[in-house]
Amino acid sequence: MPRRYWPHPPNYMVHGFMADLAHEVKKAVNIPVIAVGRMDDPDVAMAVIEQGKADMVAVGRELDYQIQLATMPKKFMIVGGGPAGMEAARVASLRGHRVALYERTDRLGGHLKAGSVPEFKKDIRKLIAWYEHQLEKLSVSIHTNHSVTIDTIE
């Protein structure tokens, strides 16, 4: 059981690692208890609630930060398929723009690829797969093995 509070838990901490602490608090108080600590896996979050370890789990405020459609859709060319490029392509597409993403290597992910190699960083592999799925679903035009030149831009 952890002995300190992790405001931003590292990736190697297991999902729901603070649920047992929430359970101890729940036993001691008569108010709703919210569990935190890598609750970003829906199965883990539901298990914490179903097992009675907490009344709620904290997972984010996505409704406060909704992506709005652009008033004038444009064509975007994004160079680099690392995390920043994938997120820029995703958000631009969600806003209604036509997006082409260019990556000079054979696959997306940038430095996330190397960072996902250790087994305890397997969630990074999930992140890359999530981005790939989202970009495909949003019909982002992806060009791998393609170095961008002035001719490509023109």
**Torsions phi, psi for 47 (to 5 deg):** -65, -40
**59-113 pLDDT per residue, tens:** 887 677 889 999 999 999 999 999 999 999 999 999 999 999 999 999 999 999 9
Checking if the pLDDT of 2 tops 90, the result is no
Pick the CATH number of 67-153 from 3.40.50.1000, 3.40.50.720, 3.30.230.10, 3.40.50.2000: 3.40.50.720
Please name which of 146, 72, 138, 73 lies closest in space to residue 107, comparing C-alpha atoms.
146
| Burial call 31-44: b when 16+ CB within 10 Å, e when fewer | eebebbbbbeeeeb
- The pLDDT, as a whole number, for residue 4 is 62
Better-predicted residue by pLDDT, 141 or 41: 141
* Boundaries of every domain in the chain: 1-63, 67-153
- Tell me how far CA of residue 73 lies from CA of 79, 94, 96, 98, in angstroms: 19, 11, 6, 7
- The pLDDT, as a whole number, for residue 14 is 87
**29-42 pLDDT per residue, tens:** 999 999 998 888 89
